[in-house]
Amino acid sequence: AQSVTQLGSHVSVSEGALVLLRCNYSSSVPPYLFWYVQYPNQGLQLLLKYTSAATLVKGINGFEAEFKKSETSFHLTKPSAHMSDAAEYFCAVSDGGGFKTIFGAGTRLFVKA
Strand, coil or helix: 85: helix
Number of Cβ atoms within 10 Å of the Cβ of 88: 17
Least distance CB 25 / another protein (angstroms) = 13
Scanning 13-21, 65-73, 74-82, 93-101 for contacts with another protein by CB under 8 A, the matching segment is 93-101
Site string for another protein, 19-48 (x = CB under 8 A): -------------x---x----xxxxxx--
Which CB atom, from 62 or from 103, has the smaller least distance to another protein? 103
Cβ-contact 42, 29 below 8 angstroms: no
The phi and psi torsions of 72 (rounded to 5 degrees) equal 45, 50
Question: If binding is defined by CB under 8 A, does position 2 make contact with another protein?
Answer: no
Q: Among residues 17, 4, 36, 8, which one has the least CA distance to residue 113? A: 17
Binding site for another protein (CB under 8 A): 4, 6, 9, 32, 36, 41-46, 49, 51, 90, 92, 94-106
